[in-house]
Homo-oligomer: A and B are copies of this chain.
Amino acid sequence: MTERLVVIGGDAAGLSAASQARKRRGREDLEIVVFERGRHASYSACGIPYLVSGEVSDPEDLVARRPEVFRDEMDIDLRLRSEVVEIDLERRAVAVRAQDGGLRREPFDQLVVATGAVPSRPDLPGATAEGVHGVQTLDDGIALLRALESRRPRRAVVIGGGYIGLEMAEAMLKRGLEVTLIEAGPQPMGTLDPDMGAMVADALRGLGAEIHLGEPVEELHHEDGRVTAVRTADRTVPADLVVLGLGTRPNSALAREAGIEVGPTGGIRTDRRMRTSAEGVWAAGDCVETFHLVSRRPVAIALGTHANKQGRAVGINIGGGYASFPGVIGTAVCKVCEYEVARTGLTTAEAARAGFETVEESVESTTRAGYYPGAMRMTTKVIADRATGRLLGAQIVGREGAAKRIDALAVAIWHEMTVADMTGLDLSYAPPFAPVWDPVLIAARKAAERLEPARTRP
């Protein structure tokens, strides 16, 4: 008998799951229906800032596979503008509100919840005024693009200094707008150590952006329904356009209401295979919580690369194979104009919260041999466990060619490598690519040198 797989969400996680399941099971064996509430599916949400900046010229460029490809070539019944509003575990069905507004019950044998994330919206007066833009969906991006092109705003305020906030600040700078970034916390990039975050702040100022840190937004002024300014306790910043980059939280409400277990992070809890607490129900992507391999605690990290891997694992498992998602170590990278920022593992504060006592070391170096043209300054910071010397975290701020080095550090953290052992690593060297001691090795070496006395203490 044909089984029926229902997938809620037509983006990275959901469609990876659907594609992998289809690869392993034919249409007679498995019917696959995907419900996507938006007008677009299978697009790169991470590409939206570059659509807004103009570096990507067509929204279609962000679409990995067009809807008809799923229908025609993969026998995946992808239905756009179809919002699942209820999961009924007892009856093994979901309730779907279709384009025409009608509510329909759709049965499933297996269910994949890939409902993504909910962007944080400030609960503030004026937050829904015209000219206030979120940038979570492709529709959001297109709307912002239209506002930029039709209304020709001059002053943009970006609220929130995380990855999205920084990428949107870059986009607005590239568009030639006056940009002010307002961040409630003491630094942009709260996922970096304060000293590294300060470098990002300096870099942003150097690019011509105004930054106000430690200033929660209290109100958005508006006139005739259009935003005119952003007010904090300290100032009022005029704005023709406001972009919200306040981060996201897992969109797990639907699952929770159905009685599916949700973890302390607000993300749906799964096992290694991405099975939820409910029989035959899987979850993947921004709506789940995963395991941090260094802190050993649950975390919810919205990132396309995790969503793809998790969705793929779900699809393989539904397809009769065996695949698992091992967890994360918090690797991330971000570009703001010519600056590159990357991190992996734990920050100093995160390490402390996880019970580690740490030694940190920052080194100034260059991306290439100092004498080679185009050698760029970069700062590499490593955080090591004081007792064992184990690398716990690393951060990089620099210019072109700096950030991707975080991957070598990520693999070292993955293997619980000590900074002392790292100094022997056979990393690539030639003058156009690195100094003879790669910044990664220098940072590890300096940390190892600092640890040596501590390690020989009784």
Contacts and interface: CB of A to CB of B under 8 A. Distances in A.
B46 A369 contact: yes
A258 interface: no
A434 B334 CA distance: 11
Contact of A303 (B328, B406, B429, B437): B429
A332 interface: yes
A303 B12 CA distance: 43
A372 B424 contact: no
A426 B440 contact: no
Nearest to A12: B436
Contacts of A215: none
Contacts of A324: 424
A414 B421 CA distance: 11
Interface string A315-352: 00000000011101111111100001010100000000
A431 B164 CA distance: 12
Contact of A408 (B62, B408, B430): B408
Interface stretch (A32-40, A197-205, A240-248, A304-312): A304-312
A372 B56 contact: yes
B369 A44 contact: yes
Contacts of A56: 371-373
A276 interface: no
A333 B410 contact: no
A61 B369 CA distance: 11
A356 interface: no
Contacts of A414: 425-426
Nearest to A421: B326
Given A329-B426, A411-B415, A44 B304 contact: no
Interface stretch (A110-118, A146-154, A397-405): A397-405
A426 B405 contact: no
A106 interface: no
Contacts of A429: 46, 303-305, 331-333
A248 to B, nearest CB: 16
Given A330-B426, A404-B405, A61 B371 contact: yes
Given A61-B371, A407-B428, 14 more contacts: A44-B371, A46-B436, A62-B371, A324-B424, A332-B430, A333-B430, A333-B433, A335-B430, A335-B432, A342-B428, A407-B407, A407-B438, A408-B411, A411-B411
24 contacts: A44-B436, A47-B371, A47-B372, A47-B431, A50-B371, A55-B372, A56-B373, A303-B429, A305-B426, A305-B429, A309-B424, A326-B421, A330-B426, A331-B428, A331-B429, A332-B429, A333-B428, A340-B433, A401-B404, A404-B405, A410-B425, A410-B427, A411-B412, A411-B417
